[in-house]
Amino acid sequence: MFKQVVEYAGVPVGILVPRDESLTFLAVKYHVMGLDGRRFTSLSDARNAIHSHVTRGAMLAA
């Protein structure tokens, strides 16, 4: 089974685990917990979603 570590700004934030025909994101950092369990078609889709999620959260905190 292939698992892919996903980093954001050089920090590991979760892993992608193959499931059926997609990749399931398992979050390991609090600031990306909102994406835990979400399925993606590729690593780049997951990275884009993480970037959007973290950026949106930073704007709400400001």
Cβ within 8 Å of residue 11, ≥6 positions away? 29
State residue 56's pLDDT score: 86
Q: Which sequence spans correspond to the domains of the chain?
A: 4-61
Q: Would you report the helix, strand and coil content of the chain in percent, each value rounded to 5?
A: 40, 35, 25
Q: Cα–Cα–Cα angle for 58, 42, 5, nearest 5°? A: 65
Per-residue confidence (pLDDT) for residue 2, from 0 to 100: 84
Is pTM beyond 0.95? Reply is: no
**Cβ contacts of 35 within 8 Å, gap of 6 or more:** 14, 25, 27, 49, 50, 53
pLDDT at 58: 62
Q: Which residue's entry shows tokens 């609090």? A: 30
Summarised one tens digit per residue, pLDDT across range 13-33 is: 999 999 999 999 999 999 999
Q: Give yes or no for residue 50 having a pLDDT over 60.
A: yes
Q: What is the pLDDT of residue 27?
A: 97
